[in-house]
Amino acid sequence: MSKVGKISLKDSIGIKDAVLKSVEEIGGFKKFVKTGDVVFLKPNYNTADPSPASTSVDFLKAVVELSYDFGAKLAMIGESSTVTLNTRKIMEKAGVLELLKMETPPRIYVFEEEVWVKKEIPGAKYLKNVSIPEILERADKLILLPCLKTHKQAKFTGALKLSVGFMKPAQRVPLHLMNLQEKIADLNKIIHPDLVIMDARKCFISGGPMKGVIREPNLILSSEDRVAIDIEGVKIIQGFEGNSLAGINPEDLPQMK
C-alpha cells in the first residue's frame, strides 16, 4: 500500500509548512504539480459547519498557495453542498469566497451552476452510472482535501467518501438508501486524484458528518492512495477512547475493501 505522509503541528509549525512537509514525505509537490498545470481542489462543504464538519479555510488557502508556488497556472476549487442547501451560500458562509481576495486567487465553481456529464462506471456492482461536473475534465491535476471524521451512515468519511460531492445532488438521495459504502467504492472508479491531503488537526470520533464528538490529533496527512490515507485516518480515530469505530478492521470497511 502507498505511503502516507504524516506531520504533527504540535511544534507550533504553521499550516502551510505542515502541508508542505507532509507532501514532501511522499515525494514533494513538484511530483504532483507541474509548471502550467490547471489544478482542481475538492474540499468538503456539504454544510458550513465548522471543521472537522467542513474544510477549514486556512487549510484550503495553504493548498491554493502551494499549488501556485509550484507552478500551477490556475487553482480551481469546486463543490456541491448537500441536496437541500445552496452551495454558493454555504461557501460564502464558510468563508471560501474570501479566497477571491488573494493576491493570486483561485477560481471557484459551484457544480450546480455548471454542466453535468453522465458517466458509465465500468465494472460497477451497485452504482452503474453517475453525472459529474464537466469542469473536472478541464483540470490537469486533481487534489482531494478531505476532513477526518466518522459518519452515521457510512461509518467513516474521508478521501473515498469525498467524491460523493462530485455527484449530481439529486442522485445522492438514492445513493444513501442502501449499500452506501459499496456505491462509494463504485463511484471512485471514475474519479482519479493525483494527490490527497487530509486535514486531521481535528476529527470526529463519533457522530458526523455535520456534528460529532471532537478530538484533536493535530496532524496533516497526505498520500497518492485514497484507501491508504483513509485506513490511516480510521486508525487515528480508533486511538481515541469512546470512538464509534472500535473493534473494526479498517480494511474490512466495504468502501475500503
Q: What CATH number did the domain enclosing 79 receive?
A: 3.40.50.11440
Burial 13-41 (b: 16+ CB within 10 A, else e): eebbebbbbbbeebeebeebbeeebebbb
Predicted confidence at residue 2, as pLDDT, reads 87
The count of domains in the chain is 1
pLDDT digits (tens, 9 = 90+) for 170-182: 999 898 889 999 9
Model pTM above 0.95: yes
Instruction: Identify whether the C-beta of residue 68 lies closer than 8 Å to the C-beta of residue 61.
Output: no
Residue 248 has what pLDDT? 96
Q: Which residue range is the domain that position 174 belongs to?
A: 5-252
Distance, in Å, from the CA atom of 91 to the CA atom of 86, rounded to the nearest integer, reads 9
Residue 22 lies in a domain: yes
Burial annotation 104-121 (CB, 10 A radius, 16+ → b, else e):
eebebbbbbeeebeebeb
Could you tell me if residue 257 is inside a domain? no
**Per residue in 12-38, pLDDT tens?**
789 999 999 999 999 999 999 999 999
pLDDT score recorded for residue 232: 98
- Is 203 part of a structural domain of the chain? yes
d(CA 29, CA 68): 11
What is the distance between the alpha carbons of residues 34 and 30, in angstroms, rounded to a whole number? 6
Report residue 157 as a C-alpha cell: 468519511
The predicted pLDDT at position 10 comes to 81
State pLDDT tens for residues 180-190. 999 999 999 99
Rg, C-alpha atoms of the chain: 17
93-126, pLDDT tens digit by residue? 999 999 999 999 999 999 999 999 999 999 999 9
**For residue 253, which of 220, 218, 226 has the smallest C-alpha distance?**
226
pLDDT band at 203 (very low <50, low <70, confident <90, very high): very high
Judge whether 58 lies within some domain: yes
Assess whether the previous peptide bond of 52 is cis (omega < 30° from 0): yes
Is 135 among the domain residues? Answer: yes
- In a domain? residue 237: yes
